[in-house]
A and B are shown apart, each in its own frame.
Chain A
Amino acid sequence: MALDMRLPTVRKTVSVSTSVFDRKDMVVPGDIITSDTGFMRGHGTYVDEEMLTASVAGEVQRVDKLICVRPLKTRFNGEVGDVVVGRITEVNWTLSCCSHQISLTRRRSAEDELTMREYLQEGDLISAEVQSVFSDGALSLHTRSLKYGKLGQGVLVQISPSLIKRQKSHFHNLPCGASIILGNNGFVWLYPTMGQQEEEAGGFYTSLEPVSLSDREVISRLRNCLLALAAHKVLLYDTSVLYCYESSLQHQVKDILKPEVMEEIVMLTQQKLLEQEG
């Protein structure tokens, strides 16, 4: 029986290089971006006495004559082509997924509507792709590929959507022995890599066979690494997750969530990422 009880300490933010932050143009609400009236104002800005001012805290982006501010932390705003992982909250003739703003339509035939409840129930997890965005912000999802669909055994980790890096593919089979789906909405799904079969994470058959202990350990370690990276606001993508996994191998899985171990692992990961870039 392990018990880790201690007095609290002020958390230190781990940042390997501060120069990276000086290069970016960061603003807070109320900061004046420019007084030149020739620019068009985009999202996150407003005009106050002929001066373009920021209305959110974030990074200034300039595309020709358009200036907008991209906020650092915001609710998930889906774009077409985003991969999302969601939990079914309601099965009706359409499905509501994870929050009120998303609905999934799966109506190929009349039978589909009636038998949808056999495939998917309330509480099930699915992966899907954003098909279109309505004007009020609601999303329409589709699972029109075998790689999407109902998710089987695995672990769900919920983190802030702004920490997920936009990449070409969000499905990765990590070399350490597990697979990961980095949903753009902040829901990350970890699952054991399927065997030799072509079966992907989706489909409607879920295997309820016990997962082996070694796979389980890999998944638990990855889960703790994800939480450690998220706690220190590191951008998540397959490379950063993998580096974090490698840096954590010297510690026991359950120790990764201790504050000092988290700091050490994240610092090593950030160093490795910088080396790879530069």
Chain B
Amino acid sequence: MARVKVSEAEKVYILHGIRDDLRVDGRSCEDYRHMEVETDVVSNTDGSARVSLGHTAVLVGIKAEIGKPRPLVPDEGYLEFFVDCSANATPEFEGRGGEELGIELSNTLYRVFNNRSSVDLKSLCISAGEHCWVLYVDVLLLQCDGNLYDAISVAIKAALFNTKIPRVHMSSDEEGGKEVELSDDPFDCVRLNVESVPCIVTLCKVGHRHVVDATLQEKACSVASLIIAVTHRGTVTCAKKMGGGSLDPESIFEMTEVRQTTRNDLGFLCVYDVSLVQAGKRVGKALHAPLMKLLQQEESLGKKRQKVGFLG
């Protein structure tokens, strides 16, 4: 991730601020920055979305291609992720500087999204064992100001909502071989059900409190962070701890009550991270409803919608 240098005195100021629930920009610990979502920004993709969260901007494009299903799961399609850290975002990404971050992001996204509980992979199957839809998800980081995972996950959900996969049907030709035929009508397409696609919430541990949507300065003051993928029902589908610091057991609030209920769906996670997970669940669950409402509102505007794009 892009790093900013922060002096010791600035760190102390930020730490005390977070402890008193008043961050440098006036937000409380669980507030997000101003977010803008726009879909259908790239014309030669099947689905695309642009999300700007504060000064972080990401662009996601999805292309659907016909491929061969994986041998172990012949009746499912799959997703492929590629994250490109553009040198526009920060000079650190020049040349091959952003490759490591890109690979790390791609692997995490793969774990979060490419499973049957997040996306209905069976609907991507055309004919079992032979043809299926492969969705190539390309993520481009345009500007980097902290909280990449959250912005990318919202963009992916919006792009999946926007994806229009052409309708196909199987036909057999004279020799008895099977052919895949695309429908002639360019508007005859299938939309994906994105209800259960999770959103990622990043919680950074600063001092004894956690913050959501950390800026680069706040990230420089935190020692560890937890990335949680949460669905609209509040189910945690994936969790990952980043950073070298330990998650402090003394900052737990409702530890005893939640220990029973959450141990089942957390499994490998240490019980000390529980309050962080509770906060993440709450925040993550609250992201879905406004996002779906916004996407449906955008869809209903149809051709009347004023496209803003990148020069707005």
User: Which residues of A are interface residues toward B (Cβ below 8 A)?
Assistant: 1-11, 87, 89, 121-125, 151-156, 206, 208, 210-211, 213, 216-217, 220-221, 223-224, 252-254, 256-259
Contact = CB atoms under 8 A, between A and B. Distances in A.
A114 B283 CA distance: 50
Contacts of B17: 216
Interface stretch (B5-13, B97-105, B134-142): B5-13
Interface in B11-37: 12-13, 16-17, 20, 22-28, 30-37
A17 to B, nearest CB: 25
Contacts of A155: 10, 13, 24
Interface in B279-312: 282-283, 286-287, 290-291, 294, 297-298, 305-306, 308, 312
Given A5-B32, A5-B37, 11 more contacts: A1-B282, A7-B37, A10-B312, A123-B5, A154-B10, A210-B16, A211-B13, A213-B20, A220-B23, A258-B34, A259-B34
Nearest to A2: B31
Nearest to A257: B34
Contact of A220 (B22, B33, B312): B22
B312 A217 contact: no
Across chains A and B, which 5 residue pairs bring their CB atoms closest together, nearest first?
A: A253-B26, A254-B26, A123-B5, A1-B30, A153-B13
Contacts of A210: 16
A5 B9 contact: no
Contacts of B26: 217, 220-221, 224, 252-254, 256
Contact of B7 (A7, A124, A221, A254): A124
A263 to B, nearest CB: 13
Interface residues of B, number: 42
Contact of B22 (A2, A121, A216, A224): A216
A1 B283 contact: yes
Contacts of A7: 36-38, 294, 297-298, 305
Interface of B: 5-10, 12-13, 16-17, 20, 22-28, 30-38, 52, 212, 282-283, 286-287, 290-291, 294, 297-298, 305-306, 308, 312
Nearest to A7: B298
Q: Point out which of A1, A2, A211, A220 has the most chain B C-beta atoms below 10 A from its C-beta.
A: A1
A217 B297 contact: no
26 contacts: A1-B31, A1-B283, A1-B286, A2-B31, A3-B287, A5-B35, A5-B36, A8-B52, A8-B308, A10-B308, A87-B7, A123-B8, A124-B7, A125-B7, A151-B7, A153-B10, A155-B24, A206-B8, A208-B8, A208-B9, A213-B22, A220-B24, A221-B26, A223-B24, A224-B26, A254-B27
A8 B31 contact: no
Given A11-B312, A257-B33, A224 B25 contact: yes
Given A123-B7, A208-B9, A5 B291 contact: yes
Contacts of B6: 123
A199 B294 CA distance: 52
Contacts of A4: 32-35
Contacts of A259: 34
